[in-house]
Structure 1
Amino acid sequence: MTGQLAGRTIFITGSGGVLGSTYVRRMLDQGARVVATDLPGHRAEALQAAHAGNAAFRFYDLDVGDEAQVTEIFKRVLADGWEPNVVLNNAAITGEMLMGAGKPFPDFADTSVADFERTLRTNLTGAFMVARQMDRDIVGRWPATLINVASMYALNGAHHPIYDGMPFKNFSAYGVTKAGIHGLTVWLAGYWAPRGATVNTIAPGAVFNNHSEEFQRRVGELIMMGRMAKPDEIADAMLFLCSAGAGYMTGQLVNVDGGFSAW
């Protein structure tokens, strides 16, 4: 099969979400072999059902916050005959996910240490553990690429008034961890360069996911292009970063935010 990603084997954490599932679909369409991972549950089941029978797709259960699972994941993948040369640190907890667990959205003063540290464990420590295992099992064996997924809020403060009256807010731990993700990128970029590996960060902007018209309006006023992104528009940039065309890029933060960060 020919395509932008022909010959690439891509390993993705957090594959069942809006962006993760879009990445999987688009990467398969572009000729990649895709090793998808996520927590067990309906998102994982839907992803597996969508690609059942596709020989270029493989799924593994993975909690990136569980050190024992991360330590074994690449060994399992390699033993099954898949050799990832691109790894995406995409798994993340958002405030909306915490609410989905039946919790009310807390004000900052009421944010629990447990919720903050749970987010840190998945979004940042989990990304570190995946990268560490990549160092042990992949880097230096063949040319490799790591892409860390940050956010428009990685290096920009949240605009808190847009959340007034909404059922969700911007969660402090999310922005903190997404800023840390790029710190991991620039550290690893220099560390791995002598071993033929590149590391970059992609910072998606506000992605439409059944948001209300009022929230879309508020966010759109902060964005040069005046609207939220479609998942496929983020995937377009991700496909390039996964491709051979990005081979001379490392240590970079790529904003895909419709101009949000430029204002």
Structure 2
Amino acid sequence: MGAPLKRLCTICARGGSKGVPGKNIRPLLGKPLIAWSVEQALSSGLFECIAVSSDDAGILDAAKKAGAYLLIERPPELATDHSAKVPAILHAVSTAESSTNTKFDTLVDLDATSPLRSELDIIKAVELLEAGHCESVITGSPARRSPYFNLVELQPNGTVQISKPGTGVVRRQDAPPTFDMNASIYVWRRDAFIQNPSVFYPTTMLYKMPEERSHDIDTALDFKIVELMMAPQRGGSADPFDLSGRVAIVTGAAGILGRRFCEILAVRGARVAALDLDKAGEVAAELKDKFGAAIGIDLDVTDQSACRDAVEQVESLLGPVDILHNNAASKGPDLARFFDPVESFSADVWRRVVQVNLDGYFFMAQAAGPRMASRGRGSIVQTCSIYGILGPDQRIYEGSEYLGMPINTPAVYSASKAGVCGLTKYLATYWGAQGVRVNTLTPGGVESGQNEEFSRRYSARVPLGRMGTPDDMAYALLYLASDASRYVTGHNLVVDGGLSAW
């Protein structure tokens, strides 16, 4: 096998739209129009570089906030009302190769006014070029009218005639299929484009897209049509739980709850970065096998600089982070010492648990939150515990065991988890004005290795009569991470079967 192909994505957007002034930064479902194309390019996971070319500083700023890697100031002569797009793309390619010191193999241009395309459309169009023997690929949707039957051309003398006369085609089913160029995606072999900058070559191929993903925005009416197609309500998709195109970080990803948390986010379309002290790669491999894009990073969340580096790595590989789930927790290096009574509890164990359960949450929020705030969006969810808001009933521990040893809920666990609730409220008010939501998820007792006696005693304290399961918590996380909770911040969602209602 040869070296992996290097791919460049360009997005060219002028600032001088006449039909809709400021079109490329006009909000569409709560984000600038240009941001949709940038995020789709990021979501595809294909590109070493995503470059946005514009003559307008507002467009370039919106593209930067959306996650574009390279911002290119387009020369005035390439940004007039009469300027063709191909020279602007050529300029962007030349600038990107010079800036990154990279010769790309595959070039992709995404039209900034085609937000209905999917990430899969981009991937499949690129696959068509790279798997075949063509110089370029264009996209199009089945034409409603055919030049063989009902498309006519106006002649100089004022008469009309069918666009393709004299073909001998008399039945619609005998006519070759025709397509409308939807100007959504263009793909080229780099060398062919540089030698002969053009859209069409003798070997150009078509990637077929359905009409419902081919609507181009050119007028104010188009904005309304596309908004209706994309979502029944402003600020969310038709399915508010849909996470397609979003990037999520989960710490403590290798735990019993962590694995299920990662999976539910991936099931709903997110690209997940699984972070844990170890086994993060194992979790990511499982996700990637089932759902596609995922990465694993081994991380000690008590290392402040490592948290910053991890977020930087996630954004460089998967794109801008939309969701951070602070879920890491520790019982210290010695499980037996974690269950020591208050009177003899070790200071070293206390400090280690607090470092993971509380310090680590702050360090990760500190690393991801400002990035979210700069983009005007984001959801941070922090795992608490029922014993962060209630004192434990010591009676349920009589005869109870965890992994074969007597258990209790130590004071450090309650104290550190209570701190999570306070941290959540602080961060919710700190970043709220920038569109970043911060909430707490508080699970009740979850089956995770306790003996039967513990389960019996605990369940007797719960109105629903049972302990929780990972699924019970995962669906609650999905709610807090998604647009379904878009007006919820600073909240503690308690999922405890009613324990706290007694």
TM-score higher than 0.5: yes
User: Tell me, which stretches of 5 or more residues in structure 1 are unaligned?
Assistant: none
- Name which structure has the greater RCO, CA cutoff 8 Å, separation 6+: 1
SS in 1 for 2:429: helix
State which of 240, 245, 249 in structure 1 corresponds to 2:484. 245
User: CA separation of 1:76/1:44 partners in 2, compared to 1, >3 Å: closer, same or farther?
Assistant: closer
Query: What is residue 135 of structure 1 aligned with on the other side?
Result: 369
Q: Distance in 2 between matches of 1:45 and 1:103?
A: 29
Mapped contact 1:140–1:196 kept (Cα < 8 A): no
Mapped contact 2:249–2:321 kept (Cα < 8 A): yes
Mapped contact 1:74–1:137 kept (Cα < 8 A): no
Q: CA deviation at 1:114?
A: 0.5
| Amino acid corresponding to residue 36 of structure 1 in structure 2 | A
State which of 250, 255, 270 in structure 2 corresponds to 1:12. 250
User: Tell me, which stretches of 5 or more residues in structure 2 are unaligned?
Assistant: 1-119, 121-238
Does 1:152 find its partner at 2:386? yes
1 or 2, which has the higher strand percentage? 2
Query: What is residue 204 of structure 1 aligned with on the other side?
Result: 443
Query: What is residue 164 of structure 1 aligned with on the other side?
Result: 398
Q: Distance in 2 between matches of 1:48 and 1:12?
A: 11
Q: CA deviation at 1:104?
A: 7.1
Mapped contact 2:444–2:495 kept (Cα < 8 A): yes
Q: CA deviation at 1:55?
A: 2.8
Mapped contact 1:75–1:137 kept (Cα < 8 A): no
User: CA separation of 1:81/1:237 partners in 2, compared to 1, >3 Å: closer, same or farther?
Assistant: closer
Q: CA deviation at 1:94?
A: 3.3
Does 1:47 find its partner at 2:283? yes
Deviates more, 1:80-89 or 1:229-238: 80-89
State which of 105, 108, 116 in structure 1 corresponds to 2:339. 105
Q: Distance in 1 between matches of 2:420 and 2:326?
A: 9
Does 1:29 find its partner at 2:278? no
Once the two structures are superposed, residues 172-222 of structure 1 have per-residue CA deviations (whole angstroms, 9 ceiling, x without a partner) of 111101111010111111111111111110100110113221111010011
Q: How does 1:118-129 map to 2 (within 5 A)?
A: 118-129=352-363
Q: Distance in 1 between matches of 2:419 and 2:383?
A: 11
Deviates more, 1:193-202 or 1:133-142: 133-142
Q: TM-score, normalised by structure 2?
A: 0.49
Deviates more, 1:68-77 or 1:11-20: 68-77
Mapped contact 2:440–2:491 kept (Cα < 8 A): yes
Q: CA deviation at 1:78?
A: 1.6
User: CA separation of 1:262/1:230 partners in 2, compared to 1, >3 Å: closer, same or farther?
Assistant: same
Superposition RMSD in Å: 1.9
Q: CA deviation at 1:87?
A: 0.4
State which of 294, 313, 326 in structure 2 corresponds to 1:89. 326
Q: Distance in 1 between matches of 2:445 and 2:422?
A: 21
Mapped contact 1:86–1:145 kept (Cα < 8 A): yes
User: CA separation of 1:104/1:174 partners in 2, compared to 1, >3 Å: closer, same or farther?
Assistant: closer
Does 1:236 find its partner at 2:470? no
Q: Distance in 2 between matches of 1:46 and 1:88?
A: 19
Does 1:215 find its partner at 2:460? no
User: CA separation of 1:35/1:155 partners in 2, compared to 1, >3 Å: closer, same or farther?
Assistant: same
| Amino acid corresponding to residue 248 of structure 1 in structure 2 | Y
Q: TM-score, normalised by structure 1?
A: 0.92
SS in 1 for 2:388: coil
SS in 2 for 1:147: strand
Query: What is residue 117 of structure 1 aligned with on the other side?
Result: 351
Among all aligned residue pairs of Structure 1 and Structure 2, give the percentage whose two residues are the same amino acid: 34
